[in-house]
Amino acid sequence: MIKKYKHINIINFFNENGENILEKVLDNYIQNSSDFIKHHIKKVDIQFNNNDNWKCKEIISNINLWLNNGKCLNKINICVDDDNYTLDKSKEDVINFLLGRYEEETGIILYDPLLYSIQTNIKNEIKKFSIQDKINILIGTWNVGGHPPAKDIFQWLYPEDEKLPDIYVIGIEEVVELIAKQVISTDTEKAKAWENEILKNLKKIDSSYVHLKSKQIIGTYITIFVRDINVEKINNVESALIKTGFKGSPANKGGVAISMNYYDSSLCFVTAHLAAGQLNIKDRNRDYHTISENIVFKGGKKIRDHDIIVWLGDFNYRINNLSNDVVRKMIEDDHLEELLKNDQLKTQITTGKIFNDYKEGQITFKPTYKFDIGTENYDTSPKLRIPAWCDRILFKAKNIKQKYYKSVDVCSCDHRPIKSLFEVIVTKIDKETKKKIEIELYNEQLNILKKEFI
C-alpha cells in the first residue's frame, strides 16, 4: 500500500507568460502512465481466456480515451492567480478542497506508476543524498489534579544524562479541575503558569531553552521546549486536539497533539487523558481510538503518518484480578514484574486492541496512582483506590533508543510524575542531490519504456 503521495499543484501549471501548459502536462502524464501500464501488462505476460478478451480491449480503449482527452481535462475548474484566468468563488472552493488546501482535508491524488517506481527505487539510494543526526528528547507527564505548579518540579525535569535534551515534551493532565465550568470554557491561565514555571526550571539546567508550542483541551495540556540552537532545524509545527466522551457523558477528557519536522524527519507527540474507573477498559480503548483516528493535521496527516510518535499521559488503565490488599503487599515486597501481569494496558496491547506496533520501556517503578497528597502512602481515603500504573509513555519509531523510564518522588499531587529520555535518529536530506538522482531514475525508466515499444 502506498503511504505517501505527490500532490499536484495545478496553479503551477501556468508559466510566467500566462501560457496554459496544463494540457501538455496532462498529455505527458497520461502518456507516461499508459506506456508504463502497457509495459507491465507485457512484463507479467497476463494470459486472457476467451471470456476475458473484452477486458484487455477495454484496458487499451480506456488508455486511448485518456490520451485523446487532454484538452477536456484542461477545461476542468482551474484556480489561478493570473489576471488572464478567473474563476468564481464556488469553483475556487471546490478546487481548494480537492487540492487539500483546507485544514483536515487530503489533497487530490494522481497516481502515476512511473512516479511510484521512482519513489520506490529512491529509497535504495537514500544514503547518497541524506545524513543522519542523533538528538535527545525528554518526555514527561504528570496528572496534577488542578494544583498550581509545584516548587519541587526541578528533579522531574532534570535530564540525568551527560547530554542535554534537544527537545522537552511535557504533558500535564488535569491542569485545571475537571468541572462543568471548564468543559464549557477552558481556563488557560493555569496552563500558562505551568508553562512559565517549567521554562524557569529549564533555564536552571541551561539558559538556551525556549518555548516552542503548547496546546490545551480542558484539563489536558502539552507543551514543548527546545534549545535555541535547534529552532532553525524545526519546521511545520502545528497542533490538533479532540475531546472524548460517550452517550452524553461530559467530554472532560481527550487528547492534544503537536506535529513537527526536525530536519526532514516528522515527529508527533500526543498527550492523552483517557476514561477513568476501575472497570471502564472499553471506554479507555474507545478514547484511544477516537484520538488516534480523529486527530488530523493539515493535508489530512494523521498521527500514524509520522516517523517518530510518542504518546504520554494519564491513560487510566488499572490492575485487574487482584484485591487491594494483595496489590499493596506485592508493591511492598517489590514484586512488580508479577503485578504487571495483571496490568490492563499491557493486556489490551497483547490482545491487539490498542497501540498496535507501539513499544513501552520496562517498568521498574512502583504504581504512580493514587497517593495521599504530601505523603508516600497509597490512598487511605474511604474509597481506598487500588494502586495502578495510570501514567505511561509509549512510542513508535524505527530509529529510537530509550535511555531510561522512571517515576519521580514528587508528593504535591495524588499522582507521581514520570519521565523518559530518548535518543532519536533524525534525517537531513540534501534536496539538490536527491533531485538529480530522481531525474536519473526517471530517465532510466523512460529508456526502458522506449525499448519496450520500439
Model confidence at 441, pLDDT cuts 50, 70, 90, reads: confident
Q: What is the pLDDT confidence band of residue 118, given thresholds at 50, 70 and 90? A: confident
- Domains of the chain, each with CATH number or no CATH: 10-111 (no CATH), 131-429 (3.60.10.10)
Angle at 96 between CA 91 and CA 100, to 5 degrees: 150
Question: Distance between CA atoms of 419 and 378, rounded to whole angstroms?
Answer: 20
Residue 37 to residue 114: CA distance in whole angstroms: 9
* DSSP letter for each residue of 198-255: HHHHHHHH-TTEEEEEEEEETTEEEEEEEEGGGGGGEEEEEEEEEEE--TT----EEE
Which of 97-111, 254-268, 299-313, 399-413 bottoms out in mean pLDDT, i.e. has the lowest? Answer: 97-111
For 53, the enclosing helix (H) or strand (E) is helix 53-67
Say whether 173 sits in a helix, a strand or coil: strand
What digits encode the pLDDT tens for the residues 133-159?
999 999 999 999 999 998 889 999 999
CA-to-CA distance for 307 and 266, rounded, in angstroms?
Answer: 5
Higher pLDDT, 182 or 128: 128
Contact 243, 290 (CB under 8 A): no
- Please give the pLDDT value at position 84: 43
Amino acid at 103: E
Q: Nearest CA to 79 among 10, 7, 15? A: 10
The confidence score (pLDDT) of residue 445 equals: 80
Provide CB contacts within 8 A for 22, sequence distance 6+. Answer: 10, 13, 14, 73, 74, 78
d(CA 153, CA 409): 10
For residue 177, name the pLDDT band (cuts at 50, 70, 90).
confident
